[in-house]
Amino acid sequence: MRTPFIAGNWKMHKTRAEARDLAAALKEQLSGVSHRLLVAPTFTSIETVATVLEGSNILVGAQNMAAARSGAHTGEISPDMLKDVGAQVVILGHSERRHVYGETDELINTKVQLALEEGLEVILCIGETLDEREAGQVDQVNRRQLTGGLAGVDAGAMGRITIAYEPVWAIGTGKTATPEDADTTHAAVRSIMADLYDQSVADAVVIQYGGSVKLDNVAGLMAKPNIDGALVGGASLKADTFVPIAQFDS
């Protein structure tokens, strides 16, 4: 069955020293947890965090990646560079990348394919804005982002992709979809995956929920049949708040 997968997105927070301290605390306090765990520090702290977490049960990820292997791409970081500093996973298509930095499904798809070719696992983020939700377009947006983001990715690679459903209106706002609402959308995402691939891929794919996940709501969300994990932003920045989420018991 699907192993619960709890990931922390540290966004643009923490110097290396702060990242090292948090990683060390998580390593110690989460050592007995059997869920899949990941933290995604800023590029500058990946190597520091990967060194601390070596041999632990916590994976290390990046929050973004270039759409090219090398070359004239000022300010970008290639898949090889991510692997070189110890990243095993990359988060792609986060709503902040889509809506603040203008990333399109086409660009995200280039990154997804490149990351897979280069041996990185991918967390592909999808989700609607408030306007799209109010216009009744949730499933349509998710279908468009999944179809675009996964174009050319074959079923054999799907074991290395996690989908993170993150309604944009719930990210960093303190608003969370109810477990019922989120589960309904996750079920719809799973059925889109069955259309794009087949039922066995849809049944196997891990779908995280993201959007103001906290200790108060994690167990309720994780108790739902189609919610397999969480992508956590704000509450992943302190051991005190992330540890109990990662240890959730539904």
Query: Which residues have a catalytic role annotated?
Result: 94, 166
Distance CA 106, CA 84 (A): 26
Q: Is the CB of 61 or the CB of 233 nearer to ligand PEP?
A: 233
Residue 223 beta carbon to ligand PEP: minimum distance, rounded to whole angstroms: 19
**Alpha-carbon gap, residue 87 to 50, rounded angstroms:** 7
Strands 207-210 and 161-165: parallel
CB nearer to ligand PEP: pick between 201 and 235 = 235
CA distance 111 to 214: 30
Site of interaction with ligand PEP (CB under 6 A): 9, 11, 166, 171-172, 210-213, 231-235
At closest approach, how far in Å is the CB of 97 from ligand PEP? 11
Which tokens belong to 123? 């967390």
Q: How many degrees, rounded to 5, is the angle at CA 110 between CA 37 and CA 186?
A: 45
Nearest 5°: CA angle at 1, between 167 and 165? Answer: 5
27 or 97: whose CB is closer to ligand PEP?
A: 97
Between 161 and 201, whose beta carbon lies closer to ligand PEP? 161
Number of residue whose CB is nearest ligand PEP: 233
Provide the minimum distance between the beta carbon of 194 and ligand PEP in the complex, in angstroms, as a whole number.
25
- Residue 250: other Cβ atoms inside 10 A: 11
Q: How far is the CB of 164 from ligand PEP (least distance, A)?
A: 7
